[in-house]
Amino acid sequence: MARRIGVFVCHCGVNIAGVVDVEKVAEELRKYPGVAFATTYQYMCSDPGQNLIRQKIEEENLDAVVIAACSPSMHEETFRNVCKDYFNPQRCEMANIREQCSWVHEKEEATEKAIKIVKATVEKLKGNEDLTPIYVPVEKKCLVIGGGIAGIQAALDIADAGYEVILVEKEPSIGGRMAQLSETFPTLDCSQCILTPKMVAVSRHPKIKLMAYSEVIDISGYVGNFDVKILKKPRYVDEDACTVCGDCEKVCPVIVPNEFDMEKKPRKAIFIPFPQAVPSTYTIDREACLGLAPLTCAECREACEANAINYDMQPKIVEEKVGAIIVATGYDLYDKSNLVEYGYGEDDDIITSLEFERMLSASGPTGGNIIKPSTGETPKKVVFVQCAGSRDKQHMPYCSSICCMYTAKHALLYKHHVPDGEAYVFYIDIRATGKDYEEFINNVMEEERINYIRGKVAKIFREGDKIVVWGVDTLTGKKVEIKADLVVLAMAIVGRKETKEIAQLLKVATGVGGFLKESHPKLKPVEALSRGIYFAGCAQAPKDIPATVAQASAAASKVLALFAKDKLEKDPMVAVVDEEHCSGCGVCISVCPYGAMQRQPNGKAKCIEALCEGCGTCAAACPSNNIEMRNYRDEQIEKMIEVII
Amino acid sequence: MSFEPEIVAFLCNWCAYAGADMAGTSRLKYPANVVPIKVMCSGRVDPEFILEAFERGADGVFIGGCHPGDCHYVNGNIRTRRRVEMLKKLLEQMGINPRRLRLEWVSATEGAKFARVMKEFVEEIRQLGPSPLRRK
């Protein structure tokens, strides 16, 4: 415990001294018990100021210091670094007499308050223990959840740096949403052409363990030391033996809709979701297959010359230990059945943007032809409705970020397919903030002669063989009615329901729209609040492919920084249970958001220091007052109250 | 001499304390009757601290935390909200006006809100007069 405390009151030029009587503060503190020395200086944070602290620690034989200056968020690190040559950094505390005093109060009252703040800080300091950082080992292996472009990029970056990656994808193939797209804005690259080389790179990378058709079912542990359980669902086809000859598919008698084609194209019960799928193998859909019910059907097994089909394959649980986790679980479209005003989107000729993407794809349900689904004819009038469910208080309040761009692309591709057709786009605002995006949209509007109507669509309904779209052109103030052959809804983007499940396993929060909550919206956009967990792609917020790739690489670089160390340093201000008096009631275990409080075999609670983030919720909740927060102990806070009141 | 309320404010490190700093950076004046104690999370505020402050004669106790859903520690603020509701009932039974205890959500960007709430709270306590437990 500190016995000879030095108090250094900063003038901060006139920022503090212009309001607070700093000499009086020093004078009052000199008389305060435990304070051996007090002085003032113009700028404590300057080199001469720091040297003054060093000099006085030596001359006055100080064993702890209070720096009364700005907010600790500004210079706590500066001053703790000065002190660490002499004593434990926990023996240095800052008293905030600028932001929360001189800048907001008038002279006399400010001086009185400054004295109280400094005295309270001295009291806290007296109770501080010397602490050393907690070190935890790091398992240098990363789990990436989700095999879309975000997960693929993150996995490749980490694996290229030489660390092992486990990439888990719940679908039979990796590729995610990007694999479903036809062409990508603003350059109109074929989406699969730029994606598939990366998919193949993943499957060939010696450092990547690809687990497709698998799901993460349990996660425990903490940064550097996560224990993960992954359920490998049975494909009933041996991935390594399958030659993708397609003989099985030909003989399979069961036809069901293909999810990859937004259920607009049929597939068999034994299927490969799309030709470039990775891993390149067939999968049996256990819900649809007749062979799994014994003796009903074995057509595929008989047709398979490679003997790859095994109806007795069982689910397998694989356990892995990893040091970091990247969540890249992607997005879903908002359910169009919520859109009452658009006829719940039930009509065949009212389709979603992803259904239109599949329609545009050469391998899609229509072989790349744009049709009016109810009749198969070429639609001569198409209405594109932006913000379907986005920027709408009835549905999702946020902007889905990419719809302006892909709608322009959709309209452009429609005009390329049907040059004599008419395309209308209803928009609220055009948001084209990416590189070359504005130019792309301008080109679409001007060169392609697409009718952009500023206004929200009020109602969509069928009238005979037409779909009627009612809206208002807010630029002319006139009501607009368009009798269209096809309506494409640019649906809001929402977090997947699986994201929520993963978030719960990880104890990470999700916000509006089901998106993962980052640690700081600006300065920590890829980090979860809990260390060792990172986000990439649309699981965090709606974003386009360049932003997703950038975020994935950012998440990967955070993982690499973590793996660059053999041991991790952690803030030592954690909870400590008085085991002798703990009654084992378990309240702390239930309130801890990090699972840091765990029950021991003897029934008593114990704080796993590596997991504890130091919030103190357990200490406040403990009914028998047997949990203390290191250097934020009850006694310290009570002493501070005593000084203030 | 006019009555000057003595108020202690528990501010969470991530939101309310940063919001109070923001009020300073923006030079938004408010009465000096409130003296802050920084805690890592509003969830750290043990009911004992609040009772201790009132017992010592505090005229008001303020707790500032992150907005629901924004808590740096997931849900500590929600627990605080429950505790404060309970404490208000308890305070009433003890003869202390529950308005003397106030919980507010102040984000790191809400300097203006912090200053406004401080002004309001000090004014409210001024109107309520000294705490019945004040030691004089």
* A24-33, A337-346, A588-597, B3-12, range with the lowest pLDDT: A337-346
Q: What is the pLDDT of residues A237-292, one digit of tens each?
A: 999 999 999 999 999 999 999 999 999 999 999 999 999 999 999 999 999 998 77
Query: What number is the average pLDDT over the span A622-643?
Result: 95
Triad A230, A493, A276: Cα angle to 5°: 55
DSSP letter (8 states) at residue A232: E
Segment holding A458, helix H or strand E: strand A457-463
What phi, psi does B9 have (nearest 5°)?
A: -120, 120
Triad A591, A595, A598: Cα angle to 5°: 90
Query: What number is the average pLDDT over the span B30-44?
Result: 96
Instruction: Indicate the average pLDDT of chain B.
Output: 93
pLDDT at A338 over 70: yes
Between CA A241 and CA A247 the distance in angstroms is: 14
Q: Which residue of B26, B30, B35, B133 is the best one to mutate when testing the A interface, meaning the one whose CB has the most A CBs within 10 A? A: B35
Plot region of A281 (φ>0 → left; ψ -120 to 50 → alpha; else → beta)? beta
What phi, psi does A150 have (nearest 5°)?
A: -65, -50
Interface confidence (ipTM) of the complex: 0.96
pLDDT at A78 over 90: yes
Instruction: Indicate the average pLDDT of chain A.
Output: 94
Query: Is A117 in Cβ contact with B73 (below 8 Å)?
Result: no
User: B86 to chain A nearest CA, in Å?
Assistant: 13
How high is the pLDDT of residue A71? Answer: 94
Q: Are A511 and B69 in contact (CB under 8 A)?
A: yes
**B25 interfacial to chain A (CB closer than 8 Å):** yes
Residue A33, C-beta contacts closer than 8 angstroms, at least 6 positions apart: none
Segment holding A117, helix H or strand E: helix A107-127
Q: How close are the terminal C-alpha atoms of chain A, in Å?
A: 24
CA A450 to chain centre: 36
For A544-575, the three-class secondary structure string (H helix, E strand, C coil) is CHHHHHHHHHHHHHHHHHHHCCCEEEECCCCE
How high is the pLDDT of residue A423? Answer: 96
Q: What is the pLDDT of residues A351-387, one digit of tens each?
A: 999 999 999 998 899 999 999 999 999 999 999 999 9
Residue B23, C-beta contacts closer than 8 angstroms, at least 6 positions apart: A99, A100, A104, B30, B111, B112, B114, B115, B118
Between CA A265 and CA A267 the distance in angstroms is: 7
Q: Which residue has the tokens 């070359």?
A: A436
How high is the pLDDT of residue A611? Answer: 83
Size of interface A-B (CB pairs under 8 A): 132
Helix ranges (H only) for A314-387 are 353-360
CA distances from A142 to A151, A323, A596 (A): 11, 6, 22
- Would you state the CATH architecture of domain B7-128? 3-Layer(aba) Sandwich (3.40)
Query: What number is the average pLDDT over the span A579-589?
Result: 94
pLDDT at A617 over 70: yes
Q: Tell me if residue A477 falls in helix, strand or coil.
A: coil
CA A255 to chain centre: 37
Chain B residues near residue A626 by CB distance under 8 angstroms:
none
Q: What is the pLDDT of residues A514-556, one digit of tens each?
A: 999 887 777 789 998 778 999 999 999 999 999 999 999 999 9
Triad A170, A173, A179: Cα angle to 5°: 110
pLDDT at B136 over 70: no
Query: What number is the average pLDDT over the span A220-226?
Result: 87
User: B108 to chain A nearest CA, in Å?
Assistant: 11
How high is the pLDDT of residue A594? Answer: 83
Instruction: Note the pTM of the prediction, 2 decimals.
Output: 0.76
Query: Which of A427, A478, A471 minimizes the C-alpha distance to A450?
Result: A427
Query: What number is the average pLDDT over the span A304-318?
Result: 94
pLDDT band at B1 (very low <50, low <70, confident <90, very high): low
Q: Which has more pLDDT, B5 or A73?
A: B5
pLDDT band at A296 (very low <50, low <70, confident <90, very high): confident
Query: Which of A87, A76, A94, A68 minimizes the C-alpha distance to A2?
Result: A87
Residue A34's Cβ-count burial label (10 Å; 0-12, 13-18, 19+) is middle
Query: Is B25 in Cβ contact with A613 (below 8 Å)?
Result: no
Radius of gyration of chain B (CA): 14
**B86 interfacial to chain A (CB closer than 8 Å):** no
Q: What is the pLDDT of residues B103-116, one digit of tens each?
A: 999 988 889 999 99
Plot region of A435 (φ>0 → left; ψ -120 to 50 → alpha; else → beta)? beta
Q: Are A607 and A577 in contact (CB under 8 A)?
A: yes
Between CA B14 and CA B110 the distance in angstroms is: 12
**A615 interfacial to chain B (CB closer than 8 Å):** yes
pLDDT at A222 over 90: no
Q: Which residue of A100, A106, A515 is the best one to mutate when testing the B interface, meaning the one whose CB has the most B CBs within 10 A? A: A100
User: A492 to chain B nearest CA, in Å?
Assistant: 22
pLDDT at A476 over 90: yes
Chain B residue closest to A641 (CA)?
B53
Q: Are A483 and A468 in contact (CB under 8 A)?
A: yes
- Tell me the pairing of strands B101-105 and B60-65: parallel
Amino acid identity for residue A526 in this structure: V
Query: Which of A441, A170, A458, A105 minimizes the C-alpha distance to B115?
Result: A105
Query: Which of A324, A357, A267 minimizes the C-alpha distance to A530?
Result: A324
DSSP letter (8 states) at residue A101: I
Residue A131's Cβ-count burial label (10 Å; 0-12, 13-18, 19+) is middle
Residues 206-235, chain A, touching B (beta carbon < 8 A): none
Dihedral sign (CA A227, A233, A235, A238): positive
Between CA A628 and CA A578 the distance in angstroms is: 8
How high is the pLDDT of residue A585? Answer: 95
Q: What is the pLDDT of residues A485-522, one digit of tens each?
A: 999 999 999 999 999 899 888 877 788 899 998 877 77
How high is the pLDDT of residue A2? Answer: 66
- Tell me the pairing of strands A266-268 and A270-271: unpaired
Q: Which has more pLDDT, A484 or A512?
A: A484
Q: Which residue has the tokens 């210091």?
A: A65
pLDDT at A1 over 90: no
Between CA A529 and CA A487 the distance in angstroms is: 42
DSSP letter (8 states) at residue A520: B
pLDDT at B69 over 80: no
Query: Is B36 in Cβ contact with A100 (below 8 Å)?
Result: yes
Between CA A509 and CA A221 the distance in angstroms is: 17
Nearest to B73 among A98, A113, A613 (CB): A613
Q: What is the pLDDT of residues A22-75, one digit of tens each?
A: 999 999 999 999 999 999 999 999 999 999 999 999 999 999 999 999 999 899
**A98 interfacial to chain B (CB closer than 8 Å):** yes
Between CA B54 and CA B49 the distance in angstroms is: 9
pLDDT band at A118 (very low <50, low <70, confident <90, very high): very high
Between CA A9 and CA A115 the distance in angstroms is: 10
pLDDT at A15 over 70: yes
Query: Which of A585, A571, A587, A581 minimizes the C-alpha distance to A629?
Result: A571
pLDDT above 90 covers a percentage of chain A that reads: 88
User: A477 to chain B nearest CA, in Å?
Assistant: 38
Query: Which of A390, A379, A360, A167 minimizes the C-alpha distance to A279?
Result: A167
pLDDT above 70 covers a percentage of chain B that reads: 98
pLDDT band at B73 (very low <50, low <70, confident <90, very high): confident
**B67 interfacial to chain A (CB closer than 8 Å):** no
User: B24 to chain A nearest CA, in Å?
Assistant: 4
Between CA A3 and CA A23 the distance in angstroms is: 23
Could you give the domains of chain A?
A: 5-131 (3.40.50), 247-303 (no CATH), 332-494 (3.50.50.60), 571-629 (3.30.70.20)
Amino acid identity for residue A617 in this structure: T
Q: Which residue has the tokens 């009615």?
A: A481
Query: Is A71 in Cβ contact with B37 (below 8 Å)?
Result: no
Residue A354, C-beta contacts closer than 8 angstroms, at least 6 positions apart: A177, A180, A262, A333, A491
